[in-house]
Chain A
Amino acid sequence: GENVEQHPSTLSVQEGDSAVIKCTYSDSASNYFPWYKQELGKRPQLIIDIRSNVGEKKDQRIAVTLNKTAKHFSLHITETQPEDSAVYFCAASMEAGTALIFGKGTTLSVSS
């Protein structure tokens, strides 16, 4: 079945710096890769997603890149702000998209 590895597990940056989180997946049939942000005590919320027919997608300060050959995808956050501090999860679809398998998460801390 699908397996998703996420690195790093913790990431500390200064406000204004960029942050990059990387994930790898095992199932070459996966075609949907969302990223979720979870603030302390809250539910996970989708911040950006990418599909296998696209190599890169941007939404203001966040972007996601996908390398299908290498089976890895990355989240890029530019000009980080303290409110970006949260746990970020990557995920990959399994079984023709019926469900998602999540990485273990990255705790991002942005200090001002």
Chain B
Amino acid sequence: NAGVTQTPKFRVLKTGQSMTLLCAQDMNHEYMYWYRQDPGMGLRLIHYSVGEGTTAKGEVPDGYNVSRLKKQNFLLGLESAAPSQTSVYFCASSYGVGASGAYEQYFGPGTRLTVT
């Protein structure tokens, strides 16, 4: 049981290049999330998904796109990378929402992205 995994662990891009970050979970979680973490800014929600085939915008969605074609995978795309997108990206997943509220989110190990 690997939990939440992210690919790649590190990446350096030039401005204008594109890339896709892959998040995979083997816990049969319904909900998945993408966050970015910058010094002094905490974890900011980029996009999230409440089920296969669904996505929604979070706090900072501009410049990113996502897809959830399979329940276990959540992809984050950068179509034209900018230096402002240099960050550590975390994926998370959870069972969703129960009778007493939200369930715990489990985080992946993170991807460190540098855009030059």
Interface residues in chain A, defined as those with a beta carbon under 8 Å from any beta carbon in chain B = 1, 6, 9, 31-32, 34, 42-46, 49, 51-53, 89, 91, 93, 96-105
Minimum CB distance partner of A107 in chain B:
B40
Q: Which of these, A9, A46, A51, A100, contacts B40 with CB under 8 Å?
A: A9
- Give 29 CB contacts A-B under 8 Å: A6-B42, A32-B101, A32-B102, A42-B109, A43-B90, A43-B108, A43-B109, A43-B110, A44-B107, A45-B107, A46-B104, A52-B101, A93-B101, A93-B102, A97-B96, A97-B97, A98-B48, A98-B50, A98-B56, A98-B96, A99-B48, A99-B58, A101-B45, A102-B35, A102-B42, A102-B43, A102-B44, A104-B41, A105-B40
Residues of B within 8 A of A43 (CB): 90, 107-110
Distance A25 CA – B104 CA, assembled complex (angstroms): 19
Residues of B within 8 A of A97 (CB): 96-97, 101-102
**B100 close to chain A: CB less than 8 A:** yes
Residues of A within 8 A of B35 (CB): 102
Q: How far, in Å, is B109 (CB) from chain A's closest CB?
A: 5
Q: How far, in Å, is A8 (CB) from chain B's closest CB?
A: 13
Nearest 7 CB-CB pairings of A with B: A97-B102, A104-B42, A97-B97, A32-B101, A43-B107, A32-B102, A102-B43
Distance A89 CA – B105 CA, assembled complex (angstroms): 13
Residues of A within 8 A of B62 (CB): none
